[in-house]
């Protein structure tokens, strides 16, 4: 179980609380370790906000991804601060509520939000590189059946990503990209693949570069 970060990380209570919402708001959920956040993350967030016509987008900085090695994971407070510096849009909010709720898996995040904010039109946002491994996520079918999904293209083999197990399973629920603004109003399962400017940066490459320079 993921514990609440220690006090010496100086996380403000607001960072651990669910951001404020109003009924009917279209809110994108952009989760990740952001270790560190980079231009590719910012592009995914901006493309999703624009094409889905979202009112808000939450950068949900996770305590740790169960599918990743935590050996190089920077402190949560540090990653939160880096994400805030990256966003530059008042409609984007950076939050660590998953740490306060002791959430480990995305399926638990989705269940909590569905229960506590049932009148908000949430959309789960992911980069296309995450789509390739989506079928390995805990209860991924439940996630896809709870909130609509928006998958934003990232550098790599797009055709291979769209032939991944999850993409093939969900193919009949896919919207055309020109209908992306309708996605927040669709009942899950529903998803769209979005294109836009792409960055070759990755958190893994940035950590390796920092290690080489140290």
As given in the structure block, the two tokens for residue 164 are: 């991944």
No. of helices (H) and no. of strands (E), the chain: 10, 7
- 193 by Cβ neighbours in 10 Å (0-12 / 13-18 / 19+) ranks as buried
Whole-model pTM?
0.85
**pLDDT tens digit string along 20-62?**
999 999 999 999 999 999 998 999 999 999 999 999 999 999 9
**pLDDT tens digit string along 72-81?**
789 999 999 9
**pLDDT tens digit string along 106-128?**
999 999 999 999 999 999 999 88
CATH numbers and ranges of domains, the chain: 7-213 (3.40.50.620)
Q: Half-sphere exposure of residue 13, counting CA atoms within 13 Å on the CB side?
A: 0
């Amino acid at each position: 179980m993921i514990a609440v970060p220690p006090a010496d990380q100086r996380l403000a209570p607001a960072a651990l609380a669910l951001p404020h919402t109003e009924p009917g708001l279209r809110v994108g959920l952009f989760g990740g370790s952001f270790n560190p956040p980079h231009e590719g993350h910012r592009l995914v967030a901006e493309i999703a906000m624009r094409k889905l016509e979202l009112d808000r987008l939450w950068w949900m900085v996770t305590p740790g991804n169960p599918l990743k090695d935590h050996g190089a994971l920077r402190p949560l407070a540090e990653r939160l601060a880096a994400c805030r510096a990256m966003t530059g849009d008042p409609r984007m909010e950076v939050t660590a509520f998953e740490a306060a709720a002791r959430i480990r898996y995305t399926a638990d995040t989705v269940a909590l939000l569905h229960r506590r904010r049932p009148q908000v039109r949430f959309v789960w946002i992911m980069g296309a590189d995450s789509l390739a491994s989506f079928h390995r996520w805990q209860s991924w079918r439940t996630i896809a059946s709870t909130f609509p999904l928006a998958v934003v293209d990232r550098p790599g083999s797009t055709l291979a990503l769209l032939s991944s197990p999850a993409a093939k399973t969900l193919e009949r629920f896919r919207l055309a990209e020109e209908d992306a603004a309708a996605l927040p109003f669709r009942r899950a399962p529903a998803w769209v693949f979005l294109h836009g400017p792409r960055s070759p940066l990755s958190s893994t490459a940035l950590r390796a570069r920092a290690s080489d320079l140290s």
